[in-house]
Amino acid sequence: MPMTTPAESVFAPLPNATRAARPEFESGQRFADIPPAHEIEAEISRLRRERNAVILAHYYQDGELQDIADFVGDSLELSRKAAETRADVIAFCGVHFMAETAKILNPDKTVVVPDVDAGCSLADRCPAPAFAEWLSQYPGHTVVSYINCSAAVKAMSDVICTSANACKIVASLPADRPIVFAPDRHLGRWVARQTGRELVLWPGFCIVHEQFSARRLVKLKTEHPRAKVLAHPECEEAVLALADFVGSTSALLRHVESSEHDCFIIATEAGILHQMRRRRPDATFITAQPHSGCDCALCPYMRLNTFEKLFVALRDLQPAIAVAPNVRERARAALDRMMEISARP
Ligand code: 13P
Ligand code: SF4
């Protein structure tokens, strides 16, 4: 099935346009008066009660942040939780676009993040002005954007998807409707194959998932012949072709829980192992390896969040996420469309 990608020139590195500068962070002032290590967990819990806050954490966060959270989930589950919470404050342990999504869904609540610099290579490499210019080449196309993008890009989209519902969203669109898909080319290519739809792809990628090497995966499979390979659809096509199961983080977790096998090679961010080990203490988990360099399979953005920064965010209610009302309304419409299609039987 034909798939088109735009020229790589739109993909030149650009300055971070989605997150404002924060002089108080640069000066280090906000990190004064942090409680000692043995008290910080209790202090976070005290602030959570006082602020009537809910702590949400993505599966890619460090285990201790997952453990202190009220709810741990994937992007779709966290959006749902954010939409239904009755808390006054949402402390979002994840990356910026996730907290921004929570703010779009809850304009009257305070949404704070431990570190406002916790971005995402997909969102950061799809700046709104370049995206608008790119879209102008595809009039009449339905714009489907992966939730890993800025509020401004969401506002230019017809419908949002996550890795958990991307196939359902694309398959729900009328068969004669041309579609552009942004910003993850690997997820887009996988969705195109699953649904049989032709998608025009923005050439973005996740720096963590694109690192996994098919060649090294073949070697690992030979060393562990019993192991089943589980991969996130943000991985390259050659890695997905070697996988026994492909799915969102929550789908990978469910698969591990219900599988009769007890040895798995995991091609996604290693934070997920915290929940996998908990749900299957009998099983062995091996992380897939990158082409070269760091072997940790950790997202450097997610790892900017720490216990100390979560404490400071709850204490100061900063850094707080803001979304301009005109952007918010249009982004909200695209998110609502996702929720509506996603809830269909
Ligand atoms: P999901 O939470 O949709 O599985 O996405 C993974 C991811 O990379 C989030 O940044
Ligand atoms: Fe973005 Fe990849 Fe990190 Fe997820 S793992 S937040 S897609 S850089």
| Per-residue pLDDT tens over the stretch 53-78 | 999 999 999 999 999 999 999 988 99
Q: Is the CB of 59 under 6 A from ligand 2?
A: no
Could you tell me the residue range of the domain that residue 199 belongs to?
A: 122-206
Q: Is the CB of 207 under 6 A from ligand 2?
A: yes
Domain shared by 106 and 150, yes or no: no
Q: Is the CB of 302 under 6 A from ligand 2?
A: yes
Please count the structural domains in the chain. 3
Residues 101-151: tens digit of each pLDDT: 999 999 999 999 999 999 999 999 999 999 999 999 999 999 999 999 999
Q: How far is the CA of 74 from the centre of ligand 1 (A)?
A: 6
Atom number in ligand 2 closest to CA 94: 6
Which of 162, 179, 206 lies at the terminal end of a domain, its last residue? Answer: 206
Q: Is residue 313 part of a domain?
A: yes
Torsion of CA 110, 50, 78, 95, to 10 degrees: 60
Q: Is 80 exceeded by the pLDDT of residue 9?
A: no
Q: Is residue 185 part of a domain?
A: yes
| pLDDT value for 4 | 44
Q: Is residue 51 part of a domain?
A: yes
User: What mean pLDDT is predicted for residues 9-21?
Assistant: 43
The candidate with the shortest Cα–Cα distance to 143, out of 225, 75, 200, is 200
Q: How far is the CA of 154 from the centre of ligand 2 (A)?
A: 17
Domain shared by 100 and 138, yes or no: no
Q: How far is the CA of 204 from the centre of ligand 1 (A)?
A: 14
| pLDDT value for 108 | 93
Q: Is 50 exceeded by the pLDDT of residue 232?
A: yes
Residues 239-291: tens digit of each pLDDT: 999 999 999 999 999 999 999 999 999 999 999 999 999 999 999 999 999 98
| pLDDT value for 237 | 97
| pLDDT value for 23 | 52
| pLDDT value for 305 | 96
Q: Is 80 exceeded by the pLDDT of residue 51?
A: yes
Half-sphere exposure of 197 (CA within 13 A, CB side): 26
CA 326 to chain centre: 24
Q: How far is the CA of 122 from the centre of ligand 2 (A)?
A: 7
| pLDDT value for 80 | 87
Domain shared by 243 and 313, yes or no: no
Atom number in ligand 1 closest to CA 252: 4
Q: Is residue 339 part of a domain?
A: no
Q: Is 50 exceeded by the pLDDT of residue 52?
A: yes
| pLDDT value for 20 | 53
- DSSP secondary structure letters along 90-103: EEEES-HHHHHHHH
Q: Is 50 exceeded by the pLDDT of residue 14?
A: no
Domain shared by 265 and 319, yes or no: no
Which of 206, 222, 243 lies at the terminal end of a domain, its last residue? Answer: 206
Q: Is the CB of 269 under 6 A from ligand 2?
A: yes
Q: How far is the CA of 147 from the centre of ligand 2 (A)?
A: 11
pLDDT band at 17 (very low <50, low <70, confident <90, very high): very low
CA 137 to chain centre: 27
User: What mean pLDDT is predicted for residues 304-316?
Assistant: 95
Q: Is the CB of 299 under 6 A from ligand 2?
A: yes
More confident residue, 2 or 108: 108
Reported pTM: 0.91
Q: Is the CB of 74 under 6 A from ligand 2?
A: no
Domain shared by 247 and 199, yes or no: no
> Residue of the nearest CA to atom 2 in ligand 2?
206
> Residue of the nearest CA to atom 7 in ligand 1?
75
Q: Is residue 99 part of a domain?
A: yes
pLDDT band at 296 (very low <50, low <70, confident <90, very high): confident
For residue 289, CA distances in Å to 114, 210, 221, 232, 297 come to 29, 11, 12, 14, 7
Q: Is 80 exceeded by the pLDDT of residue 24?
A: no
| pLDDT value for 15 | 40
Q: Is the Cα dihedral 111, 184, 57, 62 positive or negative?
A: negative
Q: Which ligand minimizes its atom distance to the CA of 101?
A: 1
Atom number in ligand 1 closest to CA 73: 2
For residue 160, CA distances in Å to 22, 30, 171, 293, 340 come to 29, 35, 13, 33, 11
Domain shared by 176 and 197, yes or no: yes
Strands 89-93 and 53-58, bridge-based pairing:
parallel
**CATH at residue 154:** 3.40.50.10800
pLDDT band at 6 (very low <50, low <70, confident <90, very high): very low
**What percent of the chain is modeled with pLDDT above 90?**
85
Residues linked to residue 92 through DSSP beta bridges, in sequence order: 56
Domain shared by 108 and 155, yes or no: no
Q: Is 80 exceeded by the pLDDT of residue 335?
A: yes
- How big is the chain by its Cα radius of gyration, in Å? 20
b/e 179-205 (16+ beta carbons within 10 angstroms → b): bbbbbbbbbbbbbbbebebebbbbbbb
Q: Is the CB of 66 under 6 A from ligand 1?
A: no
Task: Please report, as a single letter, which amino acid is at residue 172.
Answer: S
User: What mean pLDDT is predicted for residues 69-95?
Assistant: 93
| pLDDT value for 103 | 95
Residues 138-166: tens digit of each pLDDT: 999 999 999 999 999 999 999 999 999 99
Q: How far is the CA of 36 from the centre of ligand 2 (A)?
A: 31
Q: Is residue 336 part of a domain?
A: no
Q: How far is the CA of 268 from the centre of ligand 1 (A)?
A: 9
| pLDDT value for 29 | 60
| pLDDT value for 28 | 58
| Lowest mean pLDDT segment, chosen from 12-21, 224-233, 260-269 | 12-21
Q: Is residue 293 part of a domain?
A: no
User: What mean pLDDT is predicted for residues 215-238?
Assistant: 97
